[in-house]
Amino acid sequence: MVFADTSFLISLYGMDVNTAAAKEQVSLRALPIHITTVNEFEFANALRLLVFRGKIETAASKTRMAAFESDKLEGHIVQTPCDTNQIFIKAASVSAAHTESGGHRAYDILQVAAALDSGATEFWTFDERQRTLAQAAGLIVGP
């Protein structure tokens, strides 16, 4: 099962330095990308933050969110049910094992914990620190 973080989703639904790599990764693998409410929330918030920072217009944010929602309806993105209490328990364990040596942010830990809790074996990200954390936690990391 493949789980994607927010950096991957923002690139997949946007136009940035990693967009081509994100689209290529998806085209090479005919499988759904799994997410939880944790990273769906962060994805929507990240789009709003891009608007706030003047990186994209509100209309572009809405277009990207609509494309994301369309992919959910078509089964390309699958929202995996999660128990947030279990994710926080897993996150505490991941943090205890890796934050002092890797300097990981809480939300990055939550996304890796959500992937682990959902049974993911692969984790797609463009965030180098999160890539390191996911690998340390036992996930195969791409692209």
pLDDT at 98 over 80: yes
Residue 32, classified by CB atoms within 10 Å of its CB into exposed (0-12), middle (13-18) or buried (19+), is middle
pLDDT digits (tens, 9 = 90+) for 69-85: 999 999 999 999 888 89
pLDDT at 30 over 80: no
Q: Is the pTM of this model over 0.85?
A: yes
Task: Say what the pLDDT of residue 15 is.
Answer: 85
pLDDT at 3 over 80: yes
Its sign, for the CA torsion 35, 41, 46, 51, is positive
The angle at the Cα of 61, spanning 39 to 22, to the nearest 5 degrees, equals 55
Rounded Cα distance, 137 and 107, in Å: 15
Task: Say what the pLDDT of residue 19 is.
Answer: 95
Q: How many structural domains are present in the chain?
A: 1
Task: Say what the pLDDT of residue 122 is.
Answer: 95
Q: Which domain holds residue 23?
A: 2-142
Answer yes or no: are the C-beta atoms of 12 and 26 closer than 8 Å.
yes
Confidence of residue 65 (pLDDT cuts 50, 70, 90): very high
CATH of the domain at 14: 3.40.50.1010
pLDDT at 39 over 90: no
Q: What is the mean pLDDT of residues 103-122?
A: 92
Task: Say what the pLDDT of residue 38 is.
Answer: 84
Which of 21 and 29 is assigned the larger pLDDT? 21
